[in-house]
């Protein structure tokens, strides 16, 4: 059975994951209307993944005797100054989510809730991967600068890039 403190903290994370999904959906839309199909596909996939992260938390809360809250979400940014700007936001958002997960893990230790602590380890690893991937993408975007040809190749290769980044981090 979840304590009220843990239930509240998990519900906060549920909202953050839902907002993450909306943030990436808005980025997918912007990339798609700008004609970058590869970037759009990457962002749609990210958005789906964030929804999965949210659902995993929702089911955990409900199964452990709590009540997962579906709440109002903050509207995401829908336009960006540039692709660099958009990927900077993605990276900053992932570091924010990592901090939030770390705080949540800290609360579970304070509350001696080892079941939730154990459950959250998956999120800890996931954030390491997502932050690394966002950093790799940002490095590439910084190299490209304003070069249109570079952006074209980046759009073509982004999904390949993320697959190989993930492979470098998790050997399985």
Distance CA 30, CA 141 (A): 17
Nearer to ligand OFO, 36 or 97 (CB): 97
In the complex, the smallest distance separating the C-beta of residue 117 from ligand OFO, rounded to whole angstroms, is: 18
Contact of 54 with 22, CB cutoff 8 Å? no
Burial of 172 (0-12, 13-18, 19+ CB in 10 A): exposed
Nearer to ligand OFO, 6 or 53 (CB): 53
In the complex, the smallest distance separating the C-beta of residue 67 from ligand OFO, rounded to whole angstroms, is: 21
Nearer to ligand OFO, 17 or 113 (CB): 17
Contact of 170 with 130, CB cutoff 8 Å? no
In the complex, the smallest distance separating the C-beta of residue 153 from ligand OFO, rounded to whole angstroms, is: 26
Burial of 137 (0-12, 13-18, 19+ CB in 10 A): buried
Task: Catalog residues that contact ligand OFO under the rule CB under 6 A.
Answer: 17, 20, 50, 53, 94, 97, 126, 130
Nearer to ligand OFO, 5 or 124 (CB): 124
């Amino acid at each position: 059975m979840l304590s009220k403190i843990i239930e509240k903290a998990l519900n906060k994370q549920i909202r953050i994951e839902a907002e993450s999904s909306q943030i990436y959906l808005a980025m997918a839309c912007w990339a798609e209307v700008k004609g970058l199909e590869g970037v759009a596909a990457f962002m749609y996939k990210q958005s789906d993944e964030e929804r999965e992260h949210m659902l995993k938390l929702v089911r955990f809360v409900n199964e452990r005797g709590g009540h997962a809250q579906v709440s109002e979400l903050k509207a995401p940014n829908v336009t960006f100054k540039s692709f660099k700007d958009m990927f900077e936001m993605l990276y900053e958002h992932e570091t924010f989510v990592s901090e939030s997960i770390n705080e949540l893990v800290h609360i579970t230790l304070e509350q001696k809730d080892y079941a939730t602590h154990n459950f959250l380890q998956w999120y800890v690893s996931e954030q390491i991967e997502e932050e690394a991937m966002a950093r790799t993408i940002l490095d590439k975007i910084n190299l490209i600068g304003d070069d249109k040809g570079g952006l074209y190749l980046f759009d073509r290769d982004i999904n390949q890039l993320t697959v190989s980044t993930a492979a470098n981090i998790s050997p399985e």
